[in-house]
Amino acid sequence: MIWYPYEQMKTMKPPYEIVDAEGVYLYTKDGGSMIDSVSSWWSVIHGYKHPVLTRAIKEQADVFSHVMLGGLTHKTVQKLSDKLADWLPGDLDYCFFSDSGSVAVEVALKMALQFNVNRKDPRKTVLSLTHSYHGDTFKTMEVGDDEDYHFAFENKQGVIHIPTEIPALEEAFEKHHDELNCFIVEPLLQGAGGMRMYDLAFLERARQLCDQYDVLLIFDEVATGFGRTGYRFVADEVLPDILVLGKALTGGYIGHAVTVAGEKVYRGFYGDDPALALMHGPTFMGNALACSAALASIELFEGQDYMAKIHRITEIMRREMADFSSPKVKEVRIMGGCICLEVCDRADLVGYQEFAAKRGVFARPFLNCLYAMPPYVIAEEELVKVLSAMKAWFD
């Protein structure tokens, strides 16, 4: 029996059974079709059954599907590492691969802690944001601020949460800089914490303070990377010491992630002493099928000017929502390839998924957020259909 995610198994509604998927469409067992407005948890940026991605995976599978990176290597992972080093900003050149976003964030936090241990620095506290989400594994739950996970921590130790306000940021560094080994953020867009959006100036000030007090800055771009905020990566605008990518890394075709370190962090582990080494090694890190999908995904993103596609999505969202208002909706937020209608009462979203499905749209509202993060290949009429369903719910 399948144990489904984020569900009370006793009372959950039967999930939609998908028998095929192509482009932005999911095809159900009963013969229906739905536009996937959430890109399978924000990952399937090229849509389903893309021939370039499918071909890349099949060709790699004909050679081999996986070999471990412990004592072995292969050309596909080397190509991806070289591509990311060339493609990412600044000195983000050192790629540590893993099999999911949560694990990749765990690796980043472990890097930050051991970086300080290696230089005989006792700082062990993590600075994080209120309403943050960094994954479902234990340390990511601890540094996050998701109320669903508070049951696991009667009293959180070693983490400080602040709002996305510059005075609070400055106060935290002034009071706690001698305790902090890192500051971790979802840059500009806090996803699972409520699709909260904030200003780039906060991150610019964070970079200044991290430099001033020698604290590592970690960007968790598992959800925000590959254009979702309207920037290719927020790291292009403000350079972190460690960058975490996942979800869209492989175009959503195979689970994989990467923790990318800058020169300063990498050199903190490099030396003659084996004790300095990063002791971590996921079984499926650098999986050949995932790496082949990632290389093909990046090729599509670059070659077909996906940033122009994303900017067009933003324009359509703003145009379609310009005259929308409802007493039930507290705020409409749009950033890059994301739109969120925050309702005043989360009870007002009960039943929306079924409502949307009848109109040919798959949606998955959560908390008090009715949102869409569509695949970037979505056509204008398809996106208008998604937005029309959202607006019609409040008629």
Count of other CB atoms within 10 angstroms of residue 230: 19
129 - beta bridge partners? 162
Question: Which member of 36, 146, 220, 241 is catalytic?
Answer: 220
Please tell me which residue in 4, 6, 75, 236 is annotated as part of the active site.
Answer: 6
Report CA Rg, the chain: 21
Q: 269: part of which helix (H) or strand (E)?
A: none
The active-site residue out of 94, 133, 306, 352 is 133
133 tagged catalytic:
yes
CB proximity list for 387: less than 8 A, separation 6 or greater: 316, 317, 320, 321, 339, 372
- Among the listed residues 139, 231, 241, 247, the single catalytic one is 247
CA-based nearest residue to 268, from 106, 94, 128: 94
**Alpha helix (H) residue ranges in the chain:** 39-42, 51-61, 75-87, 101-118, 138-143, 166-176, 200-213, 263-267, 288-303, 306-321, 352-358, 380-392
Strand partners, 362: 36
Which string of DSSP letters, residue by residue, matches 19-38? EEEEBTEEEETTS-EEEETT
Alpha-carbon distances of 194 from 41, 340, 342, rounded to whole Å: 14, 9, 8
**Of the candidates 171, 243, 265, 266, the residue with the CA atom closest to the CA atom of residue 209:** 171
> Which residues, at least 6 apart from 80, have a Cβ–Cβ distance to it below 8 Å?
95, 286, 291, 294, 295
Q: Which long-range contacts (CB under 8 A, 24 or more apart) does 136-142 make?
A: 136/102, 137/102, 137/103, 137/105, 137/106, 139/105, 139/106, 139/109, 139/110, 140/102, 140/105, 140/106, 140/109
d(CA 290, CA 311): 28
Catalytic residue status for 220: yes
Q: Mind telling me the catalytic residues?
A: 6, 133, 220, 247
